[in-house]
Structure 1
Amino acid sequence: MFENELNPAFGLVVLLFAVVEWAWRRHSGRGYDLGSLGGNLGVMAGQLVSTVLTGGVIAAALFAVYSFAPFQWALDDWRTWVVGFFVLEFFYYWEHRFSHTVRWFWTSHAVHHSANEFTLPAAFRLGWTSTISGAWVILLPMALMGFHPVAIGALLTFNLRYQYFLHTEVVGKLGPLEWIFNTPSHHRVHHGSNAEYLDTNFGGVLILFDRLFGTFVEERKDVPVKYGLTTPVASNNPFVIAFHEWGNLWRDLRSRRTLRGWWRALFGRPGQDAGEPQRLAYWAVKDV
């Protein structure tokens, strides 16, 4: 919806931090996969196009729901923005969580987790089909609560821009800040394909709802994070990255023989039919 609305000033900050990170990775011996960088940029370009083509659908839905709100928060009241920040964090947490735990939503969100190297530009590896998969509908109740779509968009944009700076290995743990805020350490865990780390740390700016709802996991020195999907995407072709999970879903649906099987393939938890406690890019199909 608002993921890639980069103004020039923020774009310069993004570029500066990315260059600093590149230099740090090269100096520290971690290396820097330029092929993966190309994949990130290609996916970002496609996501910009998809936002232009379909973003109006989300905005129209928000305005339609907002018209039924029994009470409307004033845009010029500071309390709107303070309360709205926490309300947006709450709905974002659930949107993000369902994007991991409902296969239909995961088909688009898997794109963001497909990078096998964790760098700042990977933050822009976003799905092209998010409007179609529809996890954004989880934000609609916020409009019904009387928050203007402009406020929702601004708060979400801030949320996502903040998260850009979380996609890095440069920053270690940040002491007491780790208790309240989503940090690079927490977000590294979120992007891990290790069984210990899967489907955790869904917060945007804050980590409070993860602590409250039991999805928080701390980064461990004895469990180095393995980035990417449990079945890695080896290609840097942006079209393969953007549509690989849709292809996996289609193959699963063709293998099903019952309505229950199709329902599980579309809306069940990713990986559930493989009998493994982890997210999979492809489900093994058994007795369906």
Structure 2
Amino acid sequence: MNYVLYAVPFFFLLIALELLADRWRGMRTYRLADAINSLSAGVLSTTLGLLTKVVGLLTYTFAWQNWGVFELSAQNLWVWVFAFVFYDFCYYWNHRLGHERNVLWAAHSVHHQSEEYNLSTALRQTSTGWIFGWIFYLPMALLGVPPLVFLTVAALNLLYQFWVHTRHIPKLGWFEWVFISPSNHRVHHAQNVVYMDRNYGGVFILWDRLFGTFQEELDEEPVVFGVTTPLASWNPLWANLQFYAVLWQDAARAGSLWDKLRIWFMRTGWRPADVAARYPQSKADLSQFEKFHVPLRPAHQVYAAVQFVLYVAAGSYLLANGATQSVAVLLGSCAWMAFGLYVLGMWLENRPHALGLEALRLLLNAPALWLAEQAGLLPITGLGWGMLLGYSLASGVALVLMSRRSANAVPA
């Protein structure tokens, strides 16, 4: 069962309730562009996951079948409880090393780039974590945890983490001695020095208390969310590539071949001495911290939100139907999704070429839909083609009106 797919409506219901709580309490924990960027990263991650999750599943199943020490039965309740707790232990080390090693941080940093903290941040997931992430769960296979049990507890662990991404829930007393809570997870998303690289558990905070990585949220130290190397972009593709590009650039500049190789696996923040001397990096003063922002007219924001809703719907459809599709169909779907989300990011950044890219995106939807129909991914009737035509015309008219209004605007 795909638990994440069934949870999607509840995710968006809770986001809507959090927005109401924002209004009721006079808080502002959401910005449209930031939320769309976080959700775009999530949509991209789940779409690409249709292709990449097979890596982890195949390696896990192979290890379980060939090297499993015990034969644990999914019929026993204690196996499920054991697997749930042990998964979180493995997750702790996956998560911790994701902060402590350069190449792992390059994948995980996507989740931390938002400078807001709300339920949309929970859905901001990496598209490259599959490269190394599967390694950390092999101990479960070696101990004989069946793949069905593994996949189920992994989904439950992920679903649990959704609710802790909020600023509206205060400290929870005794609960925080055992479980991850919104308060101690806010600490995890901070870039304050006192908070950085703390509270790694997914469900249980016990691992952090046991291994010395726990930090309580302090009243005298308000959390500043984000990363010390800001993304400064609403582009979900760049969000996934940013830190890889930083490492690649430093590796290319390094004079030593050894430094070029080891930089990827050194502790996060480590740089070759010659590179650090020639290209010093300064850390931002948090007392002067300003969130990334691109001014955008209300009509442009509404247009982006409407277009993004369609990608959420498409992503949900792919999540529900992608498992039965060929690799070629999934590759095409991922390319279509990635391009559309890239264009949406350019639109939110108000780039000069955003209008042309958006027009191209609208024109490409018809051939993309035809290919989806030919592949059997999405049966289309005459009504479906009519709806696409109506949507394209409405979007085109909106583009023309917004471009005219922008051209006629009097500079302030």
TM-score by length of 2: 0.64
Task: Quote the offset at 1:252 in angstroms.
Answer: 1.2
* 2:153 counterpart letter in structure 1: L
1:106 aligns with 2:105: yes
Task: Quote the offset at 1:5 in angstroms.
Answer: 5.2
1:164 aligns with 2:162: yes
* 2:9 counterpart letter in structure 1: L
Task: Quote the offset at 1:6 in angstroms.
Answer: 1.9
Task: Quote the offset at 1:286 in angstroms.
Answer: 3.5
Q: Distance in 2 between matches of 1:234 and 1:29?
A: 26
Which residue of structure 1 lines up, in the alignment, with residue 13 of structure 2? 16
Q: Deviation above 4 Å: which 4+ runs of structure 1?
A: none
Instruction: Name which of structure 1's ranges 214-223 and 27-36 shifts more when overlaid on structure 2.
Output: 27-36
SS at match of 1:164: coil
Per-residue displacement from partner, 1:17-48 (whole Å, max 9, x unpaired)?
11111122233333220001110121112111
SS at match of 2:161: helix
Q: Distance in 2 between matches of 1:100 and 1:89?
A: 16
**Which of 212, 228, 238 matches 1:230?**
228
Q: Distance in 2 between matches of 1:259 and 1:188?
A: 39
Which residue of structure 1 lines up, in the alignment, with residue 23 of structure 2? 26
Which residue of structure 1 lines up, in the alignment, with residue 80 of structure 2? 81
SS at match of 1:200: coil
Task: Quote the offset at 1:61 in angstroms.
Answer: 0.2
1:154 aligns with 2:152: yes
Give the gaps of 5 or more residues in structure 2: 280-412
Task: Quote the offset at 1:173 in angstroms.
Answer: 0.3
1:177 aligns with 2:175: yes
Aligned alpha-carbon RMSD (Å): 2.0
Q: Distance in 2 between matches of 1:49 and 1:285?
A: 37
Which residue of structure 2 lines up, in the alignment, with residue 91 of structure 1? 90
**Which of 246, 260, 271 matches 2:269?**
271
**Which of 35, 39, 42 matches 2:40?**
42
Instruction: Name which of structure 1's ranges 79-88 and 103-112 shifts more when overlaid on structure 2.
Output: 79-88
Instruction: Name which of structure 1's ranges 187-196 and 46-55 shifts more when overlaid on structure 2.
Output: 46-55
Q: Distance in 1 between matches of 2:52 and 2:204?
A: 29
* 2:111 counterpart letter in structure 1: H
Q: Distance in 2 between matches of 1:51 and 1:135?
A: 13
Q: Distance in 2 between matches of 1:204 and 1:198?
A: 17
Task: Quote the offset at 1:131 in angstroms.
Answer: 1.8
**Which of 258, 261, 276 matches 1:285?**
276
User: Is the alpha carbon distance of 1:5 and 1:50 closer, same or farther for their aligned partners in structure 2, counting shifts above 3 Å?
Assistant: farther
Task: Quote the offset at 1:202 in angstroms.
Answer: 0.3
| Rg comparison, structure with higher value | 2
Give the gaps of 5 or more residues in structure 1: 276-283
SS at match of 1:6: helix
Per-residue displacement from partner, 1:180-230 (whole Å, max 9, x unpaired)?
100000100000011101110000111001000000000001111111101
Q: Distance in 1 between matches of 2:262 and 2:193?
A: 22
User: Is the alpha carbon distance of 1:93 and 1:111 closer, same or farther for their aligned partners in structure 2, counting shifts above 3 Å?
Assistant: same
Higher RCO (CA 8 Å, separation ≥ 6 residues): 1
User: Is the alpha carbon distance of 1:194 and 1:177 closer, same or farther for their aligned partners in structure 2, counting shifts above 3 Å?
Assistant: same
**Would you say how many aligned residue pairs link Structure 1 and Structure 2?**
277
Q: Distance in 2 between matches of 1:121 and 1:274?
A: 36
Per-residue displacement from partner, 1:61-88 (whole Å, max 9, x unpaired)?
0001001212121001001011112211
> Is the Cα contact below 8 Å between 2:254 and 2:272 reproduced in 1?
no
Q: Distance in 2 between matches of 1:105 and 1:96?
A: 9
**Which of 136, 139, 147 matches 1:138?**
136
Identity of aligned pairs, percent? Answer: 35
> Is the Cα contact below 8 Å between 1:94 and 1:138 reproduced in 2?
yes
SS at match of 2:277: coil
- Aligned runs of 1:171-250 on 2, under 5 Å? 171-250=169-248
* 1:66 counterpart letter in structure 2: W
Q: Which has the higher helix share?
A: 2
Q: Distance in 1 between matches of 2:95 and 2:195?
A: 15
